[in-house]
Homo-oligomer: A and B are copies of this chain.
């Protein structure tokens, strides 16, 4: 290892190492060959003592305490917003930077909210914390931004087809077990989800405020305005869970300020954009699907067509992206790479 590489190598702490996103942090860091000097895996006392493998070595997960962050350069958090807020001061006092996957800091004025393909320059202005956007927001913006950068969008109407993984391991497991029960004609009492998940869809189970929008939908509305530095962009979202394990899909209607790109130009803009695979074959009806975006780093975009009732100004799209990767761990590690 040369001096340059040593100086660029970072001491990392992974908080929430045993969670669904935590496991993906590890695989993404390995796969992207993130320059790691020292790495520490942290979790609650429940998971402490378990081991995880990183770059061929076994590491024991340590219990997260206020003293965990000494010597840490970057702390990747994915343990819920309560934990992020609880340890914020300890991490900053230790001189480390927080890259946080929770919603704890996203809307704070002094915290950049970053999709590296969209607004990487915002990362420069951090004060010790950078927030990873909501998974549905990231995947939507991966589909909207390549067009928006050249053809400004004034309105986004989005309906989601969200996977179990957004609610963690236990929700994925409940989808599996409840489906087995249903197929065997046995009753299943949901424990993690509020409703039967097998062969069903239901509205995202987050708090609804007086606007009638649930928290997931409000994240898509307000995080989008922040990331795009555009308070005027209108967003309306309907967030629905579907019985899929780990990739979110979204049906997106875009209204452009001036005019819509042609379908050909939209396809070219996607082909030229990093992190996107164009999957758009009307001949075979082959379009983005969660089974094909699962475990992929790139988001799949397709079903690109002018709105049949407003072709001059509006367009339809469909995107599918891995909720645990681009929707969470990959985007967070990409943010860490910007540091």
Contacts and interface: CB of A to CB of B under 8 A. Distances in A.
Contacts of A201: 161, 242, 244, 249, 289-290
A62 to B, nearest CB: 34
A5 interface: no
Contact of A263 (B179, B212, B218, B240): B212
Given A155-B309, A176-B183, A318 B203 contact: yes
Interface in A156-201: 157, 159, 161, 175-176, 179-180, 183, 194-196, 199-201
Interface in A196-240: 196, 199-206, 208, 211-214, 218, 221, 234-236, 238, 240
A314 interface: yes
Interface SS of chain A = mixed
A240 B244 contact: no
B285 A203 contact: yes
Nearest to A213: B308
A236 B179 contact: no
Nearest to A206: B285
Interface in A103-120: none
How many interface residues does chain A have, given as a range?
35 or more
A87 interface: no
A273 interface: no
A32 B48 CA distance: 62
Interface string A290-325: 110000000000011111111000101010000000
Nearest to A246: B199
B196 A291 contact: yes
A43 to B, nearest CB: 28
A243 interface: yes
A76 B242 CA distance: 34
Contact of A180 (B183, B221, B285): B183
28 contacts: A194-B284, A194-B285, A195-B291, A196-B291, A199-B244, A199-B245, A199-B290, A199-B291, A201-B289, A202-B285, A202-B289, A203-B285, A208-B283, A211-B305, A211-B308, A212-B306, A212-B308, A212-B316, A213-B305, A218-B308, A234-B307, A235-B308, A236-B309, A236-B310, A238-B251, A238-B253, A238-B316, A243-B243
